[in-house]
Chains A and B, each alone.
Chain A
Amino acid sequence: MTNRRAHGGSRRSLSAVEDRAEPTSRRAFLARAGVGVAALGVAGCVSPAGLAAAHGRPPKRLRVLSKGEAATYGTWCDVLAIGAAKAGVAFFVDKYLAEPFPDSLLLIRYLQNPPFTDFYLGGIAGIDQESEARYSKPFVTLDDARKKSVVEAAVTSSTIAWTTPNPNFFYFVSRSDAVDVVYGTVAGFRDLRIPYLPHIRPRQPW
């Protein structure tokens, strides 16, 4: 890069724009965002798990995953993002595996072509396969340290039994699902103390 003096010229700051914003739209909007953040500070901290419980209204029954598969996936995702199980990650995935592809809200739709059910079922089976190979137990029964070791094996592509779907890719996708339900909702933003700033507020988190 050339070592030139930085180009001159001024630029409006965000605060300067806020001062001149249209009173019925932009200024009120940004002021609401600021007040919202300040109010959170007064209310104090709330644990991720506690807010996760209030995030949504999960569907009442599973359509694709078995109860055992949902439990394994929820437990796995709970290691990835604290509170994911209570936030309904297994129901989130189950619901959208059952929906037609155009209606899917799963991030995996960006990364590969449908259908996605075999990917998820294979990954859930792989979790238990790895758990059994290492500890002769299903994943949901492991203590926290052993659960973490199975996750770490997927992160570092060092699984000893689980080979398909690619464990590292499955980790990536499932972590995204977990982050979605814990942090990617109105409640999740509140927990992170950042303003949601919606044009159109989602009627439900997913």
Chain B
Amino acid sequence: MKPHVHDPVEVLVIGSGFAGSTMAAELAEAGFDVLTLEAGPERRLRDMVSSQIWARRLKWAGPPVVEEGDLVGAANFGMGWGTGGAALHWYANWYRFHEDDFKERTLFGRGLDWPIDYEDLRPYYDRAQVYVGVSGDLSQDPWAPPGDPYPMPGLPEFPQSAAIRRGFEALGVPTAPNPVAVNSERYQNRPPCIFDGWCDAGCPIGALANPLVLQWPKALRAGARLEHDAYVTKVTTDASGRRATGAEYRDAQGNLRFQPADLVIVACHTIWNSRLLLLSASAAHPDGLANGSGMVGHHFMSHPIVTIYGLFKEPTRPYVGILGANLLSQEGYDNKEPAPGAFGSRSFQAGQAAKPNDLLGWALAQPDLYGQALDDYLRKASEHFGNMTVLCEETSVFENRIELDPGETDAYRLPAAKVVNNIPEQNAIRLELARTEGLAIFHAADTSKLWASGRNPEHLLGGTVMGDDPDRSVTNAYGQTHEVDNLFVAGASLFPTSAAVNPTATLTALALRTADYLRHQRAALLP
């Protein structure tokens, strides 16, 4: 089938999530001619209906992901579908990687090193928090690496966090207001948060930064274009394989189209960045585009988490607040070897708002209760529930990977993505230590009941890791693939390590840094 060929563009961005939309906005404002192709439908603020039931429509509805291993299961809940991708329903936790997170191979003999260190990314972290709008209080945060103060004061403390904080205090463990990309006051014409706890359903007022209110208005005002229901199936190159020429995609009716471009940026969610490169195999790239090293798909990571739950004697009003944490402790974060056999950093993220139903609701926190016992518990929990995520690190190992699974295909008979992820033993031991720590905190916080979840995965990282060595990485420090100069990757798929913090601050900083690079390299990269 011959595709319909469009007029060429200078920059083609594939994916409209946080990374893709940031790239589109930055490059359009710099005068590039930018087109973004988004596989999902157009989303509008009115789609953000305050309901955990209706919110499910914002989640992944694309081709299936096959998952195998003991740290999988985050894909369908964590990813998004449509304009803004996962950033339409993210919880805005905002953290910088710590200095040691960038040099784990050198310092600990594990995982990988980044090709940059904290000081290279620091100015972009500083820019990113102003760009997005972050509320926090560095004066109360002894663990944050050096950087500018947050542009807005921290959010107030909610009753749930106050109850949990007393547990930390009783054990002498410091806490700080959790930094979040949520407005504590009016910021850049976006109102402050009203703490209704519906973040998972999206924030239509824009108090929580999301691409519909932040990046896409900027990009579109600067002349960028965004096409929806555009499912990219292949990035193409010239016959030599050394230059990307554009992308093939299917439109809403299934017609095959070709979008020529001078520069291609693959900015899908983590799994799809690897899958698209693998699907883009050709004579010049027989193992997948930019995969001469065999590294595409490898070094996939997730964050192993355990959730600590409690029923507090005092009222906690858990339905009020934000779904991002309200209280943070990173005490001991930089001790990556806290006990024999254990490895990895750990963050305590406490006081997330919750609703009765859905995956993160207080009903599913006690899955074995039903009938009258469930009803009794729900009524008690409605005023006394508290929860805390204990988030740990997963060391980057080659064997954890994204690959193509020909046994499962999409609507166009292209192989599905398969994620294989098994938690390294040292990280599993570290998580169990963290569980014990978390339960001790809740025990000290005067709970009438406390318990912990099993191990769960959160966030999807790696697969197109950046590095200095073309034999051990897919891209350089700017996300530029080693083998194809005008092909870039953006997003958390670039991460060589996971750290023990949420990824959005770092992927945004990287996107701003790459956009700067592209502005300076424009003459060299564009014909």
Contacts and interface: CB of A to CB of B under 8 A. Distances in A.
Contacts of B157: 11-14
A205 interface: yes
Interface in A169-191: 172, 175-176, 179-180, 183-185, 188-189
B175 A179 contact: no
B73 interface: yes
B466 interface: no
Interface string B175-197: 11100000000000001101111
A104 B56 CA distance: 7
A16 B50 contact: no
Nearest to A151: B370
Interface residues of B, number: 77
A12 B172 CA distance: 21
Contacts of A175: 363, 367, 370
A82 B377 CA distance: 13
A39 interface: no
Given A102-B81, A110-B76, A197-B319, A184 B53 contact: yes
B358 A102 contact: no
Contacts of A197: 50, 194, 196-198, 319-320
Interface residues of A, number: 65
A180 B59 contact: no
Contacts of A193: 379, 382
Contacts of B171: 1, 3
A199 B332 CA distance: 38
A111 interface: yes
B431 to A, nearest CB: 15
A81 interface: yes
Contacts of A114: 64
Nearest to B203: A199
B144 interface: no
Contacts of A179: 356-357, 361, 363-364, 374
A202 B51 contact: yes
Q: Does more than half of chain B's interface fall in helix, strand or loop, or is it mixed? A: loop
Q: Does more than half of chain A's interface fall in helix, strand or loop, or is it mixed? A: loop
Given A1-B171, A9-B140, A22-B192, A188 B356 contact: yes
A112 B60 CA distance: 11
Nearest to B205: A199
B172 A6 contact: yes
B204 interface: yes
A198 B173 contact: no
B147 interface: no
A26 interface: yes
B356 A183 contact: yes
A8 B173 CA distance: 11
B194 A29 contact: yes
Interface string A95-135: 00000011111110111111000000000000000000000
Contacts of A60: none
Contact of A7 (B57, B81, B175): B175
Contacts of B468: none
B61 A4 contact: no
Contact of B368 (A48, A106, A109, A155): A155
A48 B81 CA distance: 35
Closest 4 CB pairs of A and B: A184-B357, A7-B174, A198-B50, A102-B61
Interface of A: 1-9, 11-14, 16-17, 22, 25-26, 29-30, 33, 48, 79-82, 101-107, 109-114, 148, 151, 155, 172, 175-176, 179-180, 183-185, 188-189, 192-202, 205-206
9 contacts: A1-B171, A7-B142, A81-B371, A102-B61, A103-B57, A179-B363, A185-B53, A188-B356, A205-B51
Given A4-B173, A176-B357, 6 more contacts: A1-B173, A29-B196, A105-B53, A199-B196, A201-B50, A206-B53
